Structure 1
Amino acid sequence: MTLSIGSTEQQILRAAVRKAWGTGLIVAAIIAAILAAALQTGALDGSRYEEMLPTMLTLAQEAWPPDFERWPKWGGPLLDTLMMSIAGTAGGILGALPLGLLAARGHAPEVIRQAVLLLLNTIRAIPSILWGIVFVAAVGFGSLPGVLALACHSTGMLGKFFAEIFEHVDRAPVEALRSQGVAPLGQLRFGVLPQVLPRLVDVAAYRWEHNIRAATTLGVVGAGGLGLEIITAFHLFEYREALALIGVLLVLVTLVNLLGAFIRRRFLDRTSA
């Protein structure tokens, strides 16, 4: 007894085979790219790792135990790092809200939308540390260039996420308000914000958690804060003090993460009630 395969079944089979081949080629290309990157960067060169573990053990021995002798002088840099993250995140939110709305499909003319998307991509493509270098040159050393750098990069990142959130808004409430003659600001306030506000807060809280770490790296370029203290300690070979500062930073990051999770949980609970 023989089984005959109809033309429809043959087409389905051929399509499945083509899809499998296409998926296989994509996976092979990804693996090849990873291997090429590993070879180019020396990640597969075993000789590069021979002294890594002994060196790290020696460094750990020199850094232990952590030295908290100068802890009374760390309050200012610690506060600077925290304030930089808060102000930079707030600036990013203020910039991202209007830009994200304009970049969302269906909320602005296509020409404006594409221009705003290009602007957000450009801002986002420049790392925060490079923004820090630019603003240190523009306004001098201190916390201000750190705030401006975090605000710029956060605007690019949050603008992208906000645009995606605005694109998924249910248009029915907005159209109902428009049909009743409600002004655009009223449509935004009563038709859009109640839908998107929980997700906006969620994304903004995550961004704040990221910025507390980014604020530390900006100390490398002279933006102050704990990052500058850590870099200075390493430059002076004060590894025990550097380890103590890193421990303080970890405590700060952990507290900010817990606070961000608390804010998201409480806000989402209230909006779902």
Structure 2
Amino acid sequence: MASSTTIPLPPRFSYPGVLRVIAIIGIFALISISLQGADISPRAFIEGLPYMWDVLKDMFPPRVDRLPNIGVLLLDTFYMAVAGTTLGVLVSFPLAICAARTTTPHGIVYQLARAGVSLARTVPDLVWALFFVVTVGIGAFAGVLTIAVDTLGFCGRFFAESIEETERSPEEALRALGAGKIAILATYILPSCTPSFINTILFSLEKAVRSSVVLGLVGAGGIGVELKVAMDTFQYDEACTIILAIFALVVVVEQISTRARRALLEEPHS
């Protein structure tokens, strides 16, 4: 006797409830209000197209004679990103341990660590850059500190979440054998989280390279300072060279990061 297969019927249409209708109307109303509040003007965009074309024409051909100087500034920008990321990651490790429920030494320490990570993450990096420019002066050091704080907020959060998501059974087995908190942390939790940590650090470095360019616009060092000067003085051909150099740096860093992530995280073939 041939077995019959039951074909599942498509879900029947059901009218949305009152709350869902109100939510949909509210979303569309919010979008409409936002578009009006943002002062979006298609007319201004159309009128600005000729000026955009003029700027683009002035950008080409780029000034290749400025490449040596731009290359030095680009390298300084990369150094700034690496230094800031390294500093932020080093501080993120102990802070993440305190900010994870499973490894924090005390409830008060947990709340303080969480608050610190949230503060570093929620305040925009440009605000931190302005703060450090005022306090430590214009230059790369302000950019390094800004990237460090931004990395602290980014890595601290994901490090803590990775620690909290580790399997509890091996930890309980180690504790039953008499292992202390530090031993469990060093021999099980941190090694288990290493792949996630590496992935987060590499993403943080990519993010720092892109941020370091923008930070220069407010005086926090890097090639962004040179880009701002070129734009302010209407040297659009030099600005184009800087933009292309920044693009090349970001692409190279992303490619290296992707290859490093693949080499470090993929399991060896048997």
Range of TM-score over shorter length: 0.7 to 0.9
Q: Is the 8 A contact 1:198 1:271 kept in 2?
A: no
Shift of 1:253: 0.1
- Whether the 8 Å CA contact 1:77–1:224 is kept in 2: the answer is no
SS of 1:212's equivalent in the other structure is helix
- Give how far 1:201 is off: 0.9
In structure 1, give the amino acid aligned to 2:151.
S
Q: How does 1:40-79 map to 2 (within 5 A)?
A: 40-43=37-40, 45-79=41-75
SS at match of 1:206: helix
* TM-score calculated relative to the size of structure 2: 0.88
* Aligned counterparts of 2:195 and 2:16: Cα–Cα separation in 1: 39
Is 2:228 aligned against 1:241? Answer: no
Percent identity (aligned):
32
What is the one-letter code of the residue matched to 1:59? V
| Cα displacement (A) at 1:34 | 2.0
Tell me which amino acid in the other structure corresponds to 2:126.
Answer: I
**CA contact 2:141–2:221 (8 Å) conserved in 1:** no
**After the TM superposition, which residues 108-257 of structure 1 pair with which residues of structure 2 at under 5 Å, given as runs?**
108=104, 109-257=106-254
Larger helix fraction of residues? 1
Matching residue of 1:100: 96
Code of the aligned partner of 2:27: I
Unaligned stretches of 5+ in structure 1? 1-15
Q: Distance in 1 between matches of 2:123 and 2:69?
A: 33
Q: CA deviation at 1:255?
A: 0.4
CA distance in 2, matches of 1:20, 1:166: 40
Kindly indicate whether residue 266 of structure 2 is the aligned counterpart of residue 258 of structure 1: no
Change (3 A) 1:27 1:205: farther
The separation in 1 between residues aligned to 2:246 and 2:229, in whole angstroms, is 15
Where does the alignment leave 5 or more consecutive residues of structure 2 unmatched?
A: 1-12
Deviations 1:233-257 (A, max 9, x none): 1111110010011000000000000
Residues 217-239 of structure 1, C-alpha deviations (whole Å, 9 max, x = no match): 11112122111111111111110
Please provide the CA RMSD for this pair.
2.1
Task: State the alpha-carbon separation in 2 of the partners of residues 272 and 19 from structure 1.
Answer: 51
Cα offsets for 1:87-139 (capped at 9, x unmatched): 11112211222222222233223333222222211121221121111112222
